[in-house]
Amino acid sequence: MTRRAGVWLWRWRRNPLRRTSDVVEAWILLIAWVLAVVGGVLAGVLTAGAMQRAADRVRAETHPAPAVVTQEAARGGIRPVSSSLGWGTVRWTDAYGSAHTGRTRVPVSATPGAHVTVWTNGQALVPPPASRADIAFQTTLGGLWAGSTAVGVVFGGAKLARIRLDRRRFAQWDEEWARVDTPWGWKTG
């Protein structure tokens, strides 16, 4: 054991100056580190898994469908969204043969009667699902965020517990100094 390791492990060694609050603080720190590592990893993995399952469910429920543009841009059927896309009204047929009409993004150059591909969940128009790369990025980021939050909560709780221990320790020191100072007849502070 190096000298430096002995400094931060002083709470675990037998020492006449060690107080009960020092031992409690050592246990709080040990438990906080274990909970932070285990809880952070667990929260990250569970969150990433849940996000992945949700994204997979969305990808499974949405599918492309052929549609026909029903309004001209000059009549206000298409409102520009970007230089190449605009909001337009389209008509499509679902898997059961029912016709539906809705607004979605279509190429600005589309004229009435033009064929476009839209994304639907079977009953309504939906945005296209995220790509595999986007899903991987989002699940990784979500897992890291959840893990970091779990670690922060654990260390925040440990810090609050240590603050309470310090207040208690300072009160005990004040009490002991008051007892030591009284027999001498004068205060040291």
Together in a domain, 35 and 53: yes
Domain hosting residue 75, numbered range: 63-120
Closest to 43 in 3D by CA, of 181, 186, 184, 154: 154
Domain count, the chain: 2
67 & 102 share domain? yes
93 plus 51 within the same structural domain: no
pLDDT in tens, 153-170: 999 999 999 999 999 989
Query: From start to end of 38-114, where are the E strands?
Result: 63-69, 79-80, 85-93, 99-107
The confidence score (pLDDT) of residue 185 equals: 57
163 and 75 share one domain: no
Is residue 98, in this structure, part of any structural domain at all?
Answer: yes
Domain assignment present for residue 162? The answer is yes
Per-residue model confidence as pLDDT tens digits over 61-107:
999 999 999 875 444 444 555 567 778 889 998 888 888 888 888 88
On whether residue 37 sits in a domain, the answer given is: yes
